[in-house]
Structure 1
Amino acid sequence: MIIVKLWHYIRGYVIINIKGRHLERLINLIHHNNILIWDIFRISSEEISAKIEIGDYKKVSELSDQLSCTIEIIRKSGMTLWKWRVKTRKIFVITSFLVLLGICFISSLVLTVDVMGDITVDKNEIIEDIASRGLKPWKLKGTVDIEEIKTSFLNDYKNFEYIDIEFNGTKAIIDLVEAKKIEKIYDKSLPVDLIAKKDAIIKDILIINGTANVEVDQEVKKGDLLVKGEIVTSKQNDEGEEIFFNQIHAKAKVMGLVDYTEKYDIRKYKMIDEDRYKINRVIHIGDLVINFLDSDENYYYHSSEEANLHIFDFKLPVKINKIKYYEKENCVNKSKEELEDEVQEKVKKKYREIGQVQDIQIVSIQEENNINKYEVKVHVLEEISEEQLLD
């Protein structure tokens, strides 16, 4: 039955209504002329519906005229009808083909690049670096050497231990994992020394187990021995005093002064009224930049928010920067003390979990537009020892 229906669909057929007084004679006449008719259904005494092949419609129409019957086409169906529509709608078919071709071409491109993973490095910096290696928007996927990019990236960025790149539609997803330094903590029954994990100047030593190998105010380098994991004991015998060296698990608190160098950008101005500002949107389409702000001479740039344009869940390669500006007449310059206080606050916020900030020295200041660029030397008092297993 399914094969018969498939055959009718391939050849094409029409559903017709036939009205007249001589319906039985017409059906017999159709059979007599070897015309296939099926699915005959009586609607009333003078009306029936049936199906015939498209090629037989003209013959059936001529036979019905002989018996004063009328034929009405209810619906056309089948592959033949589809072919006829294709022939009569060439522009539609060509357009559909071009659209399909365009979709296939676009799907073979990389339109957006995203970085996944909880990393400390700026993700925009990673995207720019990957772009320089050959993976960027509007690049054909087939021309991107993924393995070469991964290998060269890991060789250049030692602070990453894993990178994976995969395509999800037109999006390239970069998954990164930073290499984490794991501090080795050995079992208390094992003998260990304590060594310096950073360059520092020793400021305080509290020995719990072991023998000190350094003194207060002594300068040490990373890897230098701080506390020996051994104790010396002696015992008197007939031959004199015998000395014993016993290896133990060293334990101590060694505080050192560590130097850091930081750079901070601080705005030279502050706003009189923070609610008086202007929003400008800059559109980036590839290398094309559309800026709606006529001139920024009378404004201070303050901050920006970057977002990609989406259609539903599809991210387009169009970026919109929402930039906040303040009028210069609504701003006043910060004093030297205010600028330096802001630098110190940033330093203390960063290092408060590491140790105690002892001193902050401003090494240099460079002025660039409305920004002061500070280079700062920071002295932090912190624990600098780590365990090293004895041989």
Structure 2
Amino acid sequence: MKTEVPQGYTAIRTPADFMKIAENPSGKYILMNNISLEQVKLAEGQTSYIMKRFEGELDGNNQVIHGLRASLFDSISGTSSKKAVVKNLHVQNVFVNAGYKDIFDWQGKPVLAEANGLAREVSNGRLETIYMNCVKLNGGGNTGALGGLVNETYIGKVWLEGIDINSGLSEEELGRFNLVGGAVGSLSGYNSKFEDSYVEGKIIMDNNQQGGVAGQVKAAVVRNVISNVEARSNKPDSWTEKSGFVGDVNTSLQYDNRWYLDRCISIGNSGNNYKFLGKDLKAVTKNNLNLCYEVTGKTGRSNVTDATSQSGTLLTIDNINNVELYRDTLSFNDNTAQADPNAWDFSSVAEKGYPTLTWLLTYDGAAATMVEQTPVQDQEQEAAQDENLAEAEVNLPEQDEYLKED
């Protein structure tokens, strides 16, 4: 954790400082203390705190942004040569009820808007060392804790827990949208990679292209990712393209079938959904799937067949409390494609059934305590949840146009 502002960066110490990112969205920023966005007043219809395309860098400096009522950014979007970066960031207590768009579906009913925690869309971005806790989202399609539509982006060493998606919607609403995931709604792009990450929470899946980690993966690599998501559903188990890990992938198109799920595992209950992939695996080869696992003792419809077991594409596991599963079989700390060989700490496996990201245990060599997941409360009770934070509420300047009076 830095105590001095690095050269070339602008310090963020207050909610007003954060909102000023809109004045220079290509700049470099660093968070110097915890801030709450709970008292920031957004204009009617504004769906993100920063509506301008963010092309710069935000270094969270292992500080916390909390009390969100909309996604932090509308768009995190760089270029192929200069990525937009968000890193070292903690985000807690996110409550987004997206409401409706000014468009209608084929039945003439208003369409629910997207609900996201970090951004509505990410393109040519780099998201790494991000921790999000207690994230409740109620929205339509293109919904996920990190982003709705994610393209040509690197995601690494992300820890998401307490994710609660669409539990506040009616059964009729739930059946009207797709592209929903615990982390991202849709992950696409030949240069996209999602690695060394953990996703925990619950999602209600009553339509297609919905998954514990991603609703859809197209031409992207996902490796060494754990899904511990409870995938609930009101639909029968014959309903496809929704699962505890990834809902939908392309298996027929010439180029978009170049997706790859490598040494990943789904350890959560999946209810009336597939456990790992919401798709018939007959068209899947080792070019698409390698050494992925689902757990036999968990609920859900199994994707594993004799063919997937023999080919080593998708297998079953009984005991997830064995360090060798993550360390040796799944090779979580190898250096594939320049991955971090020290990304994971295995000391929690015997007790919890999954390892922990090393960066969450140590900040600049100083021990840190993981924030326990807190139950998601009604909006009237949300302010009380800030007791998880070590720092008192930020005093807000009354004159700032973004802020409402107490």
Question: Is the shorter-chain TM-score for this pair beyond 0.5, marking a shared fold?
Answer: no
- Shorter-chain TM band: under 0.3
Rg bigger for which structure? 1
Give the TM-score taking structure 2 as reference length.
Answer: 0.16
Larger proportion of strand: 1
In proportion to residue count, which structure has more helix?
Answer: 1
